Chain A
Amino acid sequence: MSLPDEVQSWIGQVRYEEATEFPVERGYVYTTCASVENGNPLFWDDDLASELTNGPIASPTMISVWFRPHLWAPGRTKQAQPLQVHFDLKETLDLPEAIMTENEIIFYEPVRPGDRLVTRQILHSVSEPKTTKLGTGRFWVIEVQYRNQAEELVAKEMYTGYGYKRAA
């Protein structure tokens, strides 16, 4: 089954270039470390962070945390979605359920408290229809790039998603 022209036109295009809704902050770093009992002193000991990383940094795997919108904000009439391309694909391809099957993160400059990150999303590919134990749908690969206020690349992520309709 061929892809709709609209979806085909998204492949390779930069979409949803946007700034994160708030600067990177340490409260989330502490909460994340607490959630996984991460005692790495780099995140708890400012003297060590000063010595090793020239000041406090965020836990690297938190990169997508800064990209997720508030659940609600004044004046917002529609719930903002993280990884909007993923949700656009679900809607346009009429695939109501979706999961992520692979995720690759490449880390560049450390993210620091106070950073304001800019993200952009690029759809790389959409598969032919495939049937799995979950149902019938398509796999897709989305790249997300993250840069800081100095336009330094801080990370790239590659997501492989599977949108599907559950088997009846």
Chain B
Amino acid sequence: MATDRTADQVQAGQKLEPLTYDVTATTVVLGALASRDWRPMHHDRDFAINRNGVRDIFMNTPNLAAWFERYITDWSGPRGRLGRMKFRMKDSIFPGDRMVFNGSVEKVETDDVGCAWAVLNVDVSVGDRMCTSCAVRIALPHDVDDNPWARKGDRWKP
């Protein structure tokens, strides 16, 4: 876990350090049950193959969102506050896959109520197969005394 990253430490074009993880059936099933997703394609291999027409059980979207959150807040530190995430799912992640998260900073900006934001483009791939991309808007502290989590109501514009 990184220490808190402040907005003045971030510039467009910066890369996030990649995160690599070897996915197992336990990864998929634990993630599905942690997100209360009881649908069989996330724990029943026969169902996934015969009903969904894929090669195995696959990671569910809510757990993939949790993976992206972990990847992004590893970079930002705990004061980083997610404002918006938009996922585009292109391909599935299966047991046996080595998934790799990558990301970069698109821009840094301050909104009209003084909140600093980083806009990131992150994705997860398996080999040369890009599985899901995620456009992220995350609030970062201006300095060590700033705390985006303290913003409420009109002072929070995600």
Write the residues of chain A forming the contact surface with B, with a CB cutoff of 8 angstroms: 28, 31-42, 48, 52-53, 59-62, 64-65, 68, 71, 97, 99-110, 134, 166
Contacts and interface: CB of A to CB of B under 8 A. Distances in A.
B109 interface: no
Contacts of B51: 97
A64 B31 CA distance: 13
B69 A59 contact: yes
A68 B33 CA distance: 11
B66 A101 contact: no
Nearest to B78: A42
* Main SS class of interface, A: mixed
B87 A104 contact: yes
A96 to B, nearest CB: 9
A35 B30 contact: yes
Contacts of A33: 66, 70
Contacts of A68: 35-38
Interface string B94-130: 0000000000000000000000000000000000000
Nearest to A109: B152
B62 A107 contact: no
Contacts of A107: 81-84, 158
A41 B73 CA distance: 10
Given A60-B69, A103-B87, A32 B34 contact: yes
A38 B66 contact: yes
Interface string B59-93: 00111011111100110001101111111110000
A109 B62 CA distance: 19
Contacts of B149: 52-53, 110
